[in-house]
Homo-oligomer: A and B are copies of this chain.
Amino acid sequence: MPKSNLDLINDCDSFPYDTFPSQQSAFTGYYTFLLPNDARPHGLLTSATVQSMPWTSDFRIDHSTKTVHLLPASHNPADLASSCTSALSNLITKAIQTNTFPILHGKHSEPYPILGAPKGPISIERFARSLFGLTARGAHLTVYTRTVHGLSIWVPRRSPTLFTYPHCLDTTVAGGVTTGEDPFTCIVREAAEEASLPEELVRTHARSCGVLSYMGLRDEARGGGGGEQGLVTPDLIYVFDLEVGEEVRLEPGDDEVEAFYLWDVETVRRGLAEGGFKTNSAVVMVDFLMRHGVVRPETEGDYVEIAMRMHRRLPFPVSARQVL
């Protein structure tokens, strides 16, 4: 059974919506994660995570209000953000040492910012963010060319040795945006590393085209490492387009890509329908096809629902000043 475009969105934006008229909230059962001096929840933890985590004195767990409050024991108000980062780092180190969560893979990972932290950047390691249900940022670049036959898109096949989504189809270039990095800087770097694209070409011609958002619910069937169930994974994906001439050839620049294909739109759509793409890269491709007039309102019965769902309003702050 081929996947519809909406099926591809459902695979990614899998956390239930609270629908109207009001019902039991999908958030019930989760603990909310709170930062100092900020009433806005930044993430959600499962009860299982709260029970297993080797909490330090920097965290106050309240089972009656179902909250996890980060309140570093020793902190200077002027230095609160770095105290929070240290507190999280100490906690994750302890969790890695005690081998508590398979999803941590027994090792440290890159620092990701907690979005909307009110007093400067607070970081948490990438592998740990799912345990706290914190929002992560990615940047995706779609490289395409116009031929006499229409659009053609550069589609990589991921290496069979990759930890996540081995051998799947993917966005031309993609990466996680780390603390202190902006999405464009990230994509310029990744384009050189993954696709051997000259920095100058990308910096001059890649076009910022928007940001997608969705909220995942991790279950075992979904895979991706770790046996944890019910983890919440809100994501932002900043999307960029780069039109190149037919003379430009993409070549793998590192061992993450097995090969690059230059595919026409019909071949790309077949890859989507067969479920061949990495889950969130499928959504990025559907957005690309909508922005380029390939997926259209006259022929896609789920057009409006797809557009709304791939720009989900997250229930967590995405900027320091955002009022939820």
Give A contacts to B, CB under 8 Å. 17-22, 25, 27, 32, 41, 182-184, 207-213, 236, 238, 290-293, 296-298, 301-305, 307-315, 318-319, 321-322, 324
20 A-B pairs with CB atoms under 8 Å apart are A19-B324, A20-B25, A21-B27, A22-B22, A22-B25, A208-B290, A208-B293, A208-B297, A209-B291, A209-B292, A210-B307, A301-B319, A301-B321, A302-B321, A304-B318, A304-B319, A305-B319, A307-B311, A308-B318, A310-B311
Residue of chain B at shortest CB distance from A287: B210
B25–A210 CB distance below 8 A: no
A23 CB to closest chain B CB (Å) equals 10
A323 CB to closest chain B CB (Å) equals 9
Q: Which of B32, B183, B303, B308 lies in contact with A313, CB distance below 8 A?
A: B308
B32–A236 CB distance below 8 A: no
Cβ–Cβ < 8 Å partners of A318 in chain B: 304-305, 308
A184–B291 CB distance below 8 A: no
Closest 7 CB pairs of A and B: A311-B311, A207-B293, A304-B318, A308-B313, A20-B315, A208-B293, A211-B307
A29 CB to closest chain B CB (Å) equals 13
Residue of chain B at shortest CB distance from A65: B21
A315–B25 CB distance below 8 A: no
State the oligomeric state as a number of copies: 2
CA distance A313 to B17 in the complex (A): 10
- If the complex has contacts A301-B321, A308-B311, A309-B313, are A21 and B17 also in contact, measured as CB distance less than 8 A? no
Cβ–Cβ < 8 Å partners of A210 in chain B: 290-291, 307
Cβ–Cβ < 8 Å partners of A312 in chain B: 308, 313
Not counting A21-B41, A302-B321, a sample of 5 additional A-B residue pairs whose C-beta atoms are within 8 angstroms of each other reads A207-B293, A212-B307, A213-B304, A213-B307, A305-B319
Q: Which of B18, B20, B183, B296 lies in contact with A41, CB distance below 8 A?
A: B20
A298–B213 CB distance below 8 A: no
A22 CB to closest chain B CB (Å) equals 5
Interface centre among A211, A290, A296, A305 (most CB of B within 10 A): A305
B208–A296 CB distance below 8 A: yes
Cβ–Cβ < 8 Å partners of A308 in chain B: 213, 311-314, 318
CA distance A292 to B297 in the complex (A): 21
A184–B298 CB distance below 8 A: yes
CA distance A209 to B308 in the complex (A): 14
Cβ–Cβ < 8 Å partners of A238 in chain B: 297
CA distance A311 to B213 in the complex (A): 11
A59 CB to closest chain B CB (Å) equals 20
Q: Which of B20, B211, B291, B305 lies in contact with A303, CB distance below 8 A?
A: B211
Residue of chain B at shortest CB distance from A32: B21
A124 CB to closest chain B CB (Å) equals 18
CA distance A195 to B310 in the complex (A): 33
A73 CB to closest chain B CB (Å) equals 27
